[in-house]
Structure 1
């Protein structure tokens, strides 16, 4: 038994004792609310958070914060232990220094698979891109404080900075950027959301890929909640309910994008923390995996 596995088992026993002794206790789990009504990006992380808490057997109440909208503020408030006690975000070294990560990638690494949104009138939309050198000619837009910005810059891109997602989308609509790399779990829903610019299109058959993980983070002093979430996630992975939820939300998108068939360029991620569990295969999505599972089930 590995040291990590042993620690999880010991905590699970402690957790069972805690729940028995404080049956009436209820965990209040507060997380950032959606950026706008109908923001589908929040649905999956909320569902994973709920699943993890359910698997522990504790009583809990999930409460979205109504005042915190943007990720940068949510992370700052979490660090200061104000208003929220759980935030999900792509990890980097600075965030792991400031906060306590639960190192289980809740989106199985899909946050590092980036497809490209672009304006239909930009030359990039119809340009044949056959190499990374071809792509480096064009300027992407990203949030100034997002880890992705530094990753793209480290790989040679001239990145146009935006204050937030809304401004990035506006710059793309105004044709002030060539493309907007979005994770595969975001791109299609953003194109289809109400009020989306109809001139923004998906660059078909092309993607970027770098090793990246979206984690739940808690305040550094909130060790008990971190262990609680870790135990819940591990139990969900072991009994298959985690993958069931993952494919429920992402299966149709993965089938449509067919990542195993498109051209993709691998980028280095210099921000990837050393403790990222890149060798734990159960945590990561492999292109074509969903299709293989469906065939095996028949």
Structure 2
């Protein structure tokens, strides 16, 4: 299959375009301390390295909120690739590379809470008890709709930094953060001193974060797909993933933490859930 994909790629990408340098623009991080861009950019570089093309990865001039970045990508303006959690709407507007870049960990959520609420959360032993509390999420995130569809009353913020401010100011009870994000955020010097990572609970739902490109940019989509498939086959994808997230998984005490399982009605039917090697 991979050999066929490589042959197809060679038909699409001429020798001249391979020799040229691809300038690929991605969304600049929202803040100087936002570390969430590091791994996706490293993975982009790894995938492109597998294909042999010459390339430059360039951040946008200004930070872009997720929905704005996706809108500009759909309009083929300013940005060439965005990584985002998939849903049916995004796959209708954009071209996904259907390899979950975080192996589904985007759907494994642990809770940021205020220190004075830790005892309360320790006593929660049913999903019904958790549903009585209000989570905080981004207003345009698929996660917000997922939580709402499972019965949560969600408070939302239009800004990333506003999520943590809302939690510190008691405008919600907990902030679910994925295992790929939570520790970098917790270690940030900007985090309010009252916020802690709850040590024993979480929620889990099936979710995939993909690289997306413009609907008409099929050549770039093929480049990324072929490069990522090669990195999966030769073990370099797993090597990068483990290097980035082994410590985070250990800090989360995965052996003892309990995750309530909830549904994701937004998950497209084309999600490659049957490919076990792509998931944590």
TM over 0.5: yes
The residue number in structure 1 matching 2:223 is 228
Contact 1:30 1:85 in 2 (8 A): yes
Determine which of 176, 179, 183 is the counterpart of 1:184. Answer: 179
Distance 1:8 1:261, change over 3 A: farther
Structure 1 stretches lacking a partner, 5+ long:
286-298
Instruction: Find the counterpart in structure 1 of residue 76 from structure 2.
Output: 81
Q: Distance in 2 between matches of 1:37 and 1:242?
A: 27
1:118-153 deviation digits (Å, cap 9, x = unpaired): 111237755411111111110001111100011001
Contact 2:19-2:53 at 8 Å conserved across structures: no
Does the C-alpha gap of structure 1 residues 23 and 183 become closer, same or farther in structure 2, counting only changes over 3 Å?
closer
Against the structure 1 CA distance between its residues 124 and 82, is the aligned structure 2 distance closer, same or farther, given a 3 Å change threshold?
A: farther
Report the CA distance shift for 1:202/1:26 in structure 2 as closer, same or farther (over 3 A).
same
Matches within 5 A, 1:53-202: 53-122=48-117, 125-202=120-197
Runs of 4+ deviating beyond 3 Å: 20-24, 122-127
Task: Please say if residues 168 and 195 of structure 2, whose CA atoms lie closer than 8 Å, have aligned partners that are also in contact.
Answer: yes
Deviates more, 1:60-69 or 1:152-161: 60-69
Distance in 2, matches of 1:48 and 1:125, equals: 39
Displacement after TM superposition at 1:226 (Å): 0.4
RMSD over aligned CA atoms reads 1.6
CA distance in 1, matches of 2:75, 2:225: 22
SS of the aligned residue for 2:36 comes to helix
Q: CA separation in 2, counterparts of 1:279 and 1:171?
A: 38
Gaps of 5+ in 2: none
Residue among 210, 214, 217 paired with 2:212: 217
In structure 2, the residue matched to 1:290 is none
1:243 corresponds to: 238
8 Å CA contact 1:54, 1:232 repeated in 2: yes
What do residues 251-298 of structure 1 show as CA deviations (whole Å, max 9, x unaligned)?
A: 11111213243111111000000100001001001xxxxxxxxxxxxx
How many residue pairs get aligned? The number is 280
SS class of match (2:92): helix
